[in-house]
Structure 1
Amino acid sequence: MTTITWFESYWAGMKSEVGGKAASLGEMTGAGLPVPPGFAITTSSYRRARDESDLDAQIARLLHGLDTSNTDMVSERCAKIRQAIATMPIPEGIELQIRGAYLELGARFGMKDVPVAVRSSATSEDSPDASFAGEHDTYLWVRGAEDVIDAVRRCWASLFTDRATCYRVEMGYDHRTVEMCVVIQKMVTPKAAGVAFTLDPTNGDRSQVAIDAAWGFGEAVVAGEVTPDNYRVDKVMLDITKRIVSEKSHEYVLTDHDTVEKVETTPERASAPCLTDTEIKAITKLAKTAERHYGCPQDIEWAVDLDLPEGDNIILLQSRPETFWSKKGPTTVIEPGTKSGDFMSSIVSTLMSPLHTKGADGS
């Protein structure tokens, strides 16, 4: 049984052991994309911990006859399952390997208690017929081995949040077959963060990269809590074809006591753009590289790291297939007044539409 897999050691045959998020981070690392270093705690570690705590019978009993329309029943039963998982002992050998890997990660940066993000990576995430994005827990700026171990248990327990449990019931997933890997990844200190699509999500135009950006950590953008700055960038010429700077009312920032908290943005900062043109174009180039590597349009999470020098400060946190427009086939929007047979339009359409795309299995 493999307990720990470093991102640089990942290979495609391991996906069932690490889940969608960790698999993506491992593949991006292998492709040379700028990903914060880290490792994955495999699903077999979670399974062994559950087996040795003999929790399956208790979980099955609590899920039996669950009425997902009864919110009180769902909350009560899921809370009991999460409590059981969050307090179960981790087998000694597995815990020692987690602690050792965390110390090794810190040693790479000369830090004793390196701050990390502890992220859930369930085997059901980013599956072709369902999306569990946002259903499971992530813990930011975790320091020290004890807190890392605690966060790992809580990520395991988040398999049974009310939302995730109800979603599995609605989608017909067997609770026993969905397992959890946990990603331990060095934190970035973001000046700004957000998402990028390698097509225009409003119309499927694959000649554009769409970027949403806000100050601080990206949670406000991903969760839809703030209206982000919005940009469209031409993939070929790298011209910024659309620019909307929004009033960004709040942001998630690192506090002096090592927690990430939501704060109000100062008025002058709220109305200011959070990206320079250089950063916008750098994000676009990395997005194009990710799309070229995966062979299909991508939905990317990125950050501008304050700890890195300008020019090398764009970090990719996640890249997953875009799921809506990709199912409809390649699209290139033709501007009004342009003939459909225009020679240049034909060239751009071909450039934006790869002849070969990878299937869901990566083939």
Structure 2
Amino acid sequence: MNPTPNSLKDKKPFVLWFDQISLKDIPLVGGKNASLGEMYSHLSSKGIKVPNGFATTAEAYRFFLSENRLEEEIKELLSGLDPHDLENLRDRGRKIRALIIDSPMPKELENEIINAYANLNKEAKQQAVDVAVRSSATAEDLPGASFAGQQETYLNVRGKDNLLHSIKKCFASLFTDRAISYRSDMGFEHTKVALSVGVQRMVRSDLACSGVMFSIDTESGFRNAVLINSSYGLGENIVQGIVNPDEFYVFKPTLMQGFQPILQKRLGGKEMKLVYDIGGEKIVKNVPVPPEERKKFSLSDEEILTLAKWACIVEEHYSQLHGRFTPMDMEWAKDGLSGELFMLQARPETVHGGKARNVLEFYRLKGTGPVLIEGRSVGEKIVHGKIKVIKSIQQIDRFEPGEILVTEKTDPDWEPIMKKAKAIVTNRGGRTCHAAIVSRELGVPAIVGTERGTEVLKDGMIVTVSCAEGEVGKVYNGEIPFEIEKVNLENIPRPRTKIMMNVGNPEEAFDLSFLPNDGVGLAREEFILTNYVRIHPMALVHFDQLKEGEDKKKIIEMTEIYPRKTDFFVEKLSEGIGMIAAAFYPKDVIVRLSDFKTNEYANLIGGQDFEPIERNPMIGFRGASRYYNPRYQEGFALECQAIRKARETFGLFNIKIMIPVVRTVEEGKKVIAEMEKNGLKKGEKGLEIYMMCEIPSNVILAEEFCEIFDGFSIGSNDLTQLVLGVDRDSEIVASLYDERNEAVKRMISSVIKTAKQKQKKIGICGEAPSNYPEFAEFLVKEGIDSLSLSADVVIKTTLNILELEKNLFQSS
């Protein structure tokens, strides 16, 4: 234990060391410092490093006010305050802060602080150690009462005089305009909130990197992911939205089993870094990051995994303390001198932590229009509104309730008008910046990191702000119509027939996982290849043979940070597959290998050099025929590597594989052999391999196919096309295309019967059971194992199937 300057038995202490503090001391040292003490005392033994320090207590703050006779003056200045009169609020706050800063530090309190600082210097074996001086209000960081950054933090403070002055500035920050407004809105009495100040050894992250971390997905509330944001320099830039940071997702369940499930690595701009301003007046300053550093990730894979493990340990500890699931919001830093990682802060996440998702809301656009600007979406809502561009804090009086706030970035001073905004759009910031955090708490959609929002969007414009289209948020010109579907999930039983989902977009997977489901019956690689990878795999394998041109330039730019160009393909595809498989873990996720047609493969970057021109690509070089053919064999090897990484590196053994367009039994055997050659052996580590049943030969030879595959998924779209001889892309003969045709139904009935006899799984992933209730009834009567549906019809079809099964099996 660190030495304490006074006896706890004699009087309430003015200073406590971190190892004397735990979470029960929130009334004494506030949420931030209590949490630091809790981690320092209880989690150091589990490998989490917390820089040592001490905290002044609420008693110290009250002693300071009492000795300087400030309480009555502060009460008088706040009497009759209207927090929405911003000019009056500013005037009163300024006067109170001046009173505090101009008052002397009482000698008794000063001595205790200076003695504690001397002991911190002694421990560090330095004459004057650099410290961070952080405010911790005693009503802050409690569930339901935690806006980001209500009081001030001062970094790189050195020497006793600077320390004492910084502590007084922290005391004064209890009366910033934003803090006064916040307490008024939350119903806290100003005089009943005290302030503790944490004094903690600085981590030299100015020479490395730092960031924030959540043990839950901040957008969807998905519990099994850790989200890490990282940027060079001190961490304030991320919170303030000055930089677009690197972003990493890690999957918690398999991480704690010893796997390395980094589901996503997204390179941020990291344009600036906050560093010590040695000899300067401002203590810290922002400097540009060299271009070559911006193109690198700020954390290694090992560091990402270490931080994610810490997040899991912290979350488990706080969940046990609170007796309920408690996701955490954390700050961390890497010391550039020692290379060590440190945890700087941990507090309960306040948006999703206590939220039950019994009712889901789905916002959907019902039209389209010109997209004015794009950025990172925060939330999932859509709103219409009028733009108001506010370029500085001095202009906030111009903002009217219900307008859409457009600005460079926000900080806590902006909160009075953020509460009035219908939506928020910023030029800068990532998904953990101040604007993002506050908009989530307010339930207001936001689009951050647009870069040019304040230039493109003009006062008075009527726009549609959409955060309902995945990760990319869009501002449309005009009022685009939209709908809101509310789904009550309480008391929906599971039908006998499994209801699975068709999922292609990894960005939607966490959200979709909340729908009642039995897993993913069709995870399409095509969406991932089109939107994540974008480059033809053979163009990466044979990059040197590509002719010079725009495609080659794009490939160089996109793969610049990868040791080998093919690593880009494997990483991006494995991340996309991994996000979907993690979202539904441990339920089955059946990944269908790439099923582009030649004209679609040709649209990928570099694709035209490797794809033949076919008259009818629909029944040409697609599916299984590609995978063992020398034209694509090396590209298929990369697909296999990506799936193997998602299974064996990420630990997502719930991934199954499905092969499309298997025309003959011999072709099926060739593909299985090709997969085994690339490390995906049927039956090994639980690997199941299915085939699409979408060609008449699949039905006719179903018994033979059963000998080599674990099951079937009926592709009713292609099967209907080939049974009836109707091109499903032709509008001229579209009226003849109908899955309910008796010929199609007989084929489906036959293959279900064969699969049942051979004890193989069989499902369907076409749209027919969603579109036609009578077709779903037919499938259930035939005894199909599962229906895999698009997300928008899952609830409706589940209810229909439940009613159908009730009528069919009521005698059971």
TM-score by length of structure 1 reads 0.89
Which string of whole-angstrom CA distances, capped at 9 and with x for unpartnered residues, describes residues 115-147 of structure 1? 000100101111222214311010000000010
In structure 1, which of residues 294, 306, 324 is the aligned counterpart of residue 336 of structure 2? 306
Q: Distance in 1 between matches of 2:309 and 2:29?
A: 28
1:26 aligns with 2:45: no
Percent identity over paired residues: 38
SS at match of 1:345: coil
Q: How do residues 155-194 of structure 1 correspond to structure 2 at under 5 angstroms?
A: 155-190=170-205, 191-194=208-211
The aligned residue for residue 264 of structure 2 is 242
SS at match of 1:325: coil
Q: How do residues 4-153 of structure 1 correspond to structure 2 at under 5 angstroms?
A: 4-31=15-42, 32=44, 33-153=48-168
Change (3 A) 1:5 1:332: farther
Q: Distance in 1 between matches of 2:264 and 2:75?
A: 52
The aligned residue for residue 351 of structure 2 is 324
Change (3 A) 1:332 1:293: farther
The aligned residue for residue 251 of structure 1 is 273
Letter in 2 for 1:225: I
Of the two structures, which has the highest relative contact order with CA contacts closer than 8 Å and spacing of 6 or more? 1
Q: Distance in 2 between matches of 1:119 and 1:268?
A: 33
Change (3 A) 1:91 1:193: same
Q: Quote how far apart the aligned CAs of 1:22 are.
A: 0.3
1:125–1:133 CA contact under 8 A, matched in 2: no
Q: How do residues 213-224 of structure 1 correspond to structure 2 at under 5 angstroms?
A: 213-224=230-241
Q: Distance in 1 between matches of 2:130 and 2:347?
A: 25
SS at match of 1:30: helix
1:25–1:318 CA contact under 8 A, matched in 2: yes
Change (3 A) 1:345 1:199: farther
Letter in 2 for 1:63: L
Which string of whole-angstrom CA distances, capped at 9 and with x for unpartnered residues, describes residues 273-295 of structure 1? 11111111111111111111111
1:113–1:143 CA contact under 8 A, matched in 2: yes
TM-score by length of structure 2 reads 0.41
Q: Quote how far apart the aligned CAs of 1:338 are.
A: 7.2
Q: Distance in 1 between matches of 2:162 and 2:149?
A: 22
Please say which structure displays the higher CA radius of gyration. Answer: 2
Q: Quote how far apart the aligned CAs of 1:181 are.
A: 0.3
Q: Quote how far apart the aligned CAs of 1:216 are.
A: 0.6
Q: Distance in 1 between matches of 2:293 and 2:108?
A: 49
Q: Quote how far apart the aligned CAs of 1:306 are.
A: 1.4
1:117–1:140 CA contact under 8 A, matched in 2: yes
1:116–1:142 CA contact under 8 A, matched in 2: yes
Letter in 1 for 2:26: K
2:143–2:348 CA contact under 8 A, matched in 1: no
Q: Distance in 2 between matches of 1:345 and 1:319?
A: 32
Which string of whole-angstrom CA distances, capped at 9 and with x for unpartnered residues, describes residues 299-339 of structure 1? 11011111224xxx110000111111212248896464379
1:281 aligns with 2:305: yes
The aligned residue for residue 316 of structure 2 is 292
Letter in 2 for 1:299: D
The aligned residue for residue 607 of structure 2 is none
Change (3 A) 1:125 1:343: closer
The aligned residue for residue 262 of structure 1 is 286
Q: Distance in 2 between matches of 1:260 and 1:343?
A: 45
- Structure 1: where are the runs of 5+ without partners? 349-363
Letter in 2 for 1:239: P
1:207–1:332 CA contact under 8 A, matched in 2: no
Q: Distance in 2 between matches of 1:280 and 1:343?
A: 21
In structure 2, which of residues 220, 223, 234 is the aligned counterpart of residue 203 of structure 1? 220
Letter in 1 for 2:521: G
Q: Quote how far apart the aligned CAs of 1:266 are.
A: 1.8
The aligned residue for residue 353 of structure 1 is none
SS at match of 2:587: helix
Q: Distance in 1 between matches of 2:522 and 2:121?
A: 56
Change (3 A) 1:207 1:13: closer
2:23–2:31 CA contact under 8 A, matched in 1: no
SS at match of 2:521: coil
Q: Quote how far apart the aligned CAs of 1:343 are.
A: 8.5
Letter in 1 for 2:203: V
Letter in 2 for 1:234: F
Q: Distance in 1 between matches of 2:147 and 2:520?
A: 38
Q: Quote how far apart the aligned CAs of 1:74 are.
A: 1.2
CA RMSD of aligned residues (A): 2.1
1:205–1:333 CA contact under 8 A, matched in 2: no
2:23–2:35 CA contact under 8 A, matched in 1: no
2:146–2:350 CA contact under 8 A, matched in 1: no
